Amino acid sequence: MSGTSLDGVDVALVNLHGTKARNQQCEVIHTYFSAFTPELRAGLLSLHTSGSNELERTALLGNQLAHLYANAVNQMLATNGVSREQVVAMGCHGQTIRHRPELGFTLQIGNPALLAELTGITVIADFRSRDIAAGGQGAPLVPAFHQALFADDSLCRAVINIGGIANLTHLPAKGMASGFDTGPGNMLMDAWAERHLGKPYDESGLWAATGQVITALLDELLTEPFFKLAPPKSTGRDLFSLGWLEEHLPPDFKAADIQRTLLELTAFSIANAVKTYCGNVDEIYLCGGGAHNHLLVERLRQLLYPARISLSDALGISVNWVEAAAFAWLARQTLLKQPGNLPEVTGAKAARILGAIYYH
């Protein structure tokens, strides 16, 4: 998995058991992380807007990603003494460079054919386009995995994945899951920290904690129509970019105050989504990189009290590896010829088998 945070590649080797819609098991056996180089990250960011020689740059960066994915997978296997023959298949999300479901397309690059050649493992990729073809948003896809692994028959739960974009999964004790993207997760905070601190993120929200919320700016940011849209809905860098933020910045500001306001934007938009669409939720579980931001987690606890907020580690999967494990699960769904989307989440007209298979 490599997501909208553009920090690197998460690899998780998992054992999956069960085929029912709920109460499945996922054992995370080994994990590995490979960071993006600054050059690769800059190249991928440049593809989010139109530019010269765009098609060739997209193809070349896709090949570069395939090599990075393959090196990460091969290193993880070698380090842990696992042979590729033991691996049934690999689910590869690819790197999203455009997400425009309203125009009928989403684009993830990573050359899965080359990845299969470089690893000797069957690869399942291109999970989102079939859902979009069926009238859906193509995202988020992880709620089906959350339902399979994390639903409880007696408690109402919510799972909040805080990556570059934040998404919410509502898991009622009975009935089907629902979910949607709530808005920016770490994306704007990371970009602002990189611009002003020269660091990829604001560790634990320590910099944001030195600033003050600019209430007028927060109120203006929250007027973005996306926040008022009813689900199903999804979003990405196509909307929540630094360019979007700059359109709203006051003429005089302290950089730390903007960072604190961006953290509040993430916390408030998540909390508002939970209050609006999750009813009387009993338990909330956080995952993704944002779960390491102590100030953000504390604000969510304050805004969502009295709901109990914990990390996904309490459910058996570390916050760092939930999404990677989810795409292993989606790959297994494809091989089993089982649906990978939830129409209640994406808005597709029906459940669909997702992904394209590159057999080895």
124-139 pLDDT tens trace: 999 999 999 999 999 9
What pLDDT, on a 0 to 100 scale, did the predictor assign at position 318? 97
Residues 189 and 204 sit within 8 Å (Cβ to Cβ): no
Higher-scoring residue by pLDDT: 240, 280 = 240
Q: Round to whole Å and give the CA distance between 75 and 263.
A: 35
Inter-CA distances, 357 with 55, 71, 244, 296, 306, Å: 24, 20, 37, 39, 45
Residues 131 and 339 sit within 8 Å (Cβ to Cβ): no
What pLDDT, on a 0 to 100 scale, did the predictor assign at position 4? 86
**Residue 14: pLDDT band by 50, 70, 90 thresholds?**
very high
Q: Tell me the pLDDT of the chain averaged across its residues.
A: 97
Inter-CA distances, 249 with 197, 218, 221, 245, 271, Å: 18, 10, 9, 6, 23
Q: Round to whole Å and give the CA distance between 333 and 96.
A: 21
Q: Which domains does the chain have, with CATH numbers?
A: 8-138+321-358 (3.30.420.40), 142-315 (3.30.420.40)
CA terminus-to-terminus distance, the chain: 20
**Residue 215: pLDDT band by 50, 70, 90 thresholds?**
very high
57-71 pLDDT tens trace: 999 999 999 999 999
101-122 pLDDT tens trace: 999 999 999 999 999 999 999 9
Give, as one character, the DSSP assignment of residue 318. -
**Residue 279: pLDDT band by 50, 70, 90 thresholds?**
confident
Residues 278 and 304 sit within 8 Å (Cβ to Cβ): no
296-344 pLDDT tens trace: 999 999 999 999 999 999 999 999 999 999 999 999 999 999 999 999 9
Q: What is the mean pLDDT of residues 15-22?
A: 93
Percent of the chain with pLDDT over 70: 100
What pLDDT, on a 0 to 100 scale, did the predictor assign at position 334? 98
Per DSSP, the residues of 88-101 read --EE---EEEEEEG
Q: What is the mean pLDDT of residues 50-79?
A: 97
pLDDT at 280 over 90: no
Q: What is the mean pLDDT of residues 170-176?
A: 93
CA dihedral 11, 106, 232, 267 (to 10 degrees): 50
Q: pTM of the prediction?
A: 0.95
